[in-house]
């Protein structure tokens, strides 16, 4: 076998349907559009969500929930993750991004208190949970809010 002898599997390729190309094609006359009605006319345009005058689905379904436009989205890092960083005394969002503990540079970081802390380090973040702050400060570290 070589590249010159490659063929598509039999039945995997279909001939293109040439619509509206004469009666002999099987798709002539009305060109598969049926008889009369909006969809059969030339230049017929209607929105993708139009349901023929029936009450559309976005109006049939009730509104649910609440969207808070002032919600702050944080990237979460646990103190157990900070414990794994070797040889770094001052930790900030830039270092967390470089060490791949957070995915995005421009989204605020919040430190949570999951896990234990044995080393003292200075952590700068946009927010801290109460337990994270106490754990960091109990071993002689600093929790600085940006």
Say yes or no: 92 and 136 in one domain: yes
Say yes or no: 138 and 120 in one domain: yes
What would the pLDDT profile of 126-135 be if each residue is shown by its tens digit?
999 999 999 9
CA angle 39, 45, 50 (to 5 degrees): 85
Report the pLDDT value the prediction gives residue 46, as an integer from 0 to 100: 84
The residue out of 65, 88, 103 marking a domain boundary is: 65
Report the pLDDT value the prediction gives residue 84, as an integer from 0 to 100: 84
What would the pLDDT profile of 73-117 be if each residue is shown by its tens digit?
999 999 988 888 888 889 999 999 998 999 999 999 999 988 888
Q: Check pLDDT > 90 for residue 4.
A: yes
Say yes or no: 141 and 90 in one domain: yes
Task: Please check whether residue 38 lies inside any domain of the structure.
Answer: yes
Say yes or no: 106 and 51 in one domain: no
Q: What is the DSSP string of the chain?
A: --GGG--PPTTS--PPP-TTS-GGGSS-TTTTS-SSSGGGSTT----TT--TTSPPHHHHSPP-S---TTPPP-EEEEHHHHHT--S-SEE-HHHHHHTTSSS-SSS-EEEE--S---S--EEEESEE-HHHHHHHHHTT-EEEE-
Sign of the alpha-carbon torsion through 59, 64, 66, 72 = negative
75 neighbors 103 (Cβ within 8 angstroms): yes
Report the pLDDT value the prediction gives residue 47, as an integer from 0 to 100: 87
What would the pLDDT profile of 6-43 be if each residue is shown by its tens digit?
999 999 998 888 999 999 988 999 998 999 988 888 88
Say yes or no: 59 and 120 in one domain: no
Q: Tokens 């414990």, residue? A: 83
Sign of the alpha-carbon torsion through 136, 93, 72, 145 = positive
Report the pLDDT value the prediction gives residue 121, as an integer from 0 to 100: 87
Q: What is the pTM of this model?
A: 0.57
What would the pLDDT profile of 34-84 be if each residue is shown by its tens digit?
999 888 888 888 888 889 889 999 999 999 999 999 999 999 999 988 888
Query: Domain containing 137: what range?
Result: 75-145
Please list the residues that pair with 122 across neighbouring strands.
Answer: 90, 142
Say yes or no: 128 and 107 in one domain: yes
Say yes or no: 88 and 132 in one domain: yes
The residue out of 65, 91, 123 marking a domain boundary is: 65
Which H, E and C letters describe 115-134, residue by residue?
A: CCCCCCCEEEECEECHHHHH
Task: Please check whether residue 1 lies inside any domain of the structure.
Answer: no
Say yes or no: 92 and 128 in one domain: yes
Q: Into how many domains does the chain fold? A: 2
Say yes or no: 59 and 94 in one domain: no
């Amino acid at each position: 076998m070589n590249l010159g002898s490659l063929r598509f599997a039999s039945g995997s390729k279909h001939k293109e349907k040439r619509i509206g190309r004469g009666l002999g094609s099987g798709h002539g006359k009305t060109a598969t559009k049926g008889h009369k009605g909006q969809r059969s006319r030339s230049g017929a345009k209607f929105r993708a969500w139009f349901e023929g005058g029936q009450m559309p689905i976005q109006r049939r379904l009730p509104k649910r929930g609440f969207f808070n436009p002032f919600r702050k989205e944080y990237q979460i890092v646990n103190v157990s993750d900070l414990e794994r960083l070797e040889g770094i005394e001052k930790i900030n969002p830039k270092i967390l991004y470089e060490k791949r503990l957070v995915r995005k540079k421009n989204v605020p970081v919040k430190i949570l208190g999951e896990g234990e802390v044995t080393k003292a380090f200075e952590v700068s973040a946009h927010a801290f949970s109460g337990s994270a702050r106490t754990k960091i400060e109990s071993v002689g570290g600093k929790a600085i809010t940006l």
